[in-house]
Amino acid sequence: MRRRALAAGIVALGALLGAAAQAQDAGLEIGGSLKTLGLRSRDAGGDGFGLSLNRLRLEAKGDLAPGLAIDLQYDNELLLGSYLRTGEFQAMKDLRPPQYWRADANVLERGDVYDRHRLYRAALTASIGTVDVKLGRQRIAWGTGRFWSPLDILNPIDPVALEREERLGVDAALVEAKLGPLSRLSLVYAPAPDRGAPSRAVQLHGNAAGIDASLVVGRLRGMEVAGLDLAGQIGNAGVRGEAAQLRPLGGRPFRRVLLAGDYAFDGGLTVSIEVHYNGGGARDATLYDWNGLRAGRVASLATRYAGLYVAYEITPLWKWVSYVVRNADDRSQALDTRLVWSVRADLEAVLAVQRFAGSRLSEYGRRPDSGFVSLTWYF
């Protein structure tokens, strides 16, 4: 496995270098980013730790030939600091990602130094008339939720993620047929990484009277799914909703529902509110599926949630963003507040604090507070 992952990284680098040499002729865009993030927090035992995450992302996107496009993104991550000596990191570092294709490997592990690489995205898209066929590691974004999404099962949302913009891709085949200017039919097939039942689903998306609507039916990550999402406007406010009926193989059926609203005020203030019902969760904190959360099988443990997003553009270069998540069952909550500075067009700095409240048995109360600063250069 490790040798194949290393080979995949070498192939990715070779492809990027070759693409760079032919970018002007082939119409490819070659770029990427360099991010450094410094984190301070505590482990499960209450001991403080520091972590420096440094990620180089190389990207090649664009047309290889008429009707054939590529999206290739290769990551190399260097981790430094005392976090590497914690039990959490030791348990996490060798876990296999929930993806079919093993395209990652640990390159170096020595004391407080750890280096790894992976293919973050690797997909080819063939376009034939009004039909697109996309094969490989990709982001399949179904649903409209910001904190939760009953329909985004292939790439589930973590409502308290430290790097909210990072979304794990899925190894899949996606076929999209355009049925009109605002409508399409999508079919997805994704093999399971554990040789289990593959994911297979169809989505029909359209627009009528200014309302976007999608219908999803299929089997995703071992669950039979039938769901609907809607998005539209009421006056100047945006409204969104999702509902899904799910049945795990061999388990009891349950529902998930999301209702949301968005409003952009004059003066640069934007507010979003979401309420979420998760019928697959537990009202009693002692029955939470912690193993499922760590393995990525579930994104939320309880049944009733609320989320608040607030963003204010202080100046064109400075922005304040806050996310508040509340578990209404165990009354725990999380606050993530950030100050974002666009230093220049290709450089962004972020100062952030995450705070958690609740009992030690609750979903968010057991998480440690943390703070981080990051700097990202785009090239």
Give dist(CA 339, CA 319) in Å, integer: 6
Q: Which helix (H) or strand (E) holds 94?
A: none
User: What are 165-200's pLDDT values in tens digits?
Assistant: 898 899 999 999 999 999 999 999 999 988 888 999
Strands 199-208 and 269-278: unpaired
Give dist(CA 56, CA 35) in Å, integer: 7
Closest CA to 148 of 61, 227, 35: 227
SS3 of 277, please?
strand
What distance lies between CA 283 and its chain's CA centroid?
Answer: 26
Which is higher by pLDDT, 74 or 12? 74
Give the residue-averaged pLDDT of 267-292.
Answer: 94
The answer, yes or no, to whether residue 3 has pLDDT greater than 80, is no
User: What are 129-143's pLDDT values in tens digits?
Assistant: 999 999 999 999 899
Give the residue-averaged pLDDT of 289-310.
Answer: 89
In the chain, % of residues over pLDDT 90: 80
- Looking at residue 96, its pLDDT comes to 82
Whether CATH 3.50.50.60 fits 143-152+198-379? no
User: What are 8-40's pLDDT values in tens digits?
Assistant: 555 555 555 554 545 545 578 999 999 999 999
Which is higher by pLDDT, 24 or 154? 154
- Provide CB contacts within 8 A for 356, sequence distance 6+: 332, 333, 334, 335, 364, 365, 366, 367, 368, 369
- Looking at residue 92, its pLDDT comes to 83
Give the residue-averaged pLDDT of 50-62.
Answer: 97
Give dist(CA 109, CA 117) in Å, integer: 12
User: What are 341-362's pLDDT values in tens digits?
Assistant: 999 999 999 999 999 999 999 9
- The domain ranges of the chain are 1-116, 143-152+198-379
- Looking at residue 2, its pLDDT comes to 47
Burial class (CB in 10 A: 0-12, 13-18, 19+), 297: middle
Q: How many C-alpha atoms does 338 have within 13 Å on its Cβ side?
A: 23
Give dist(CA 277, CA 271) in Å, integer: 21
- Looking at residue 25, its pLDDT comes to 54
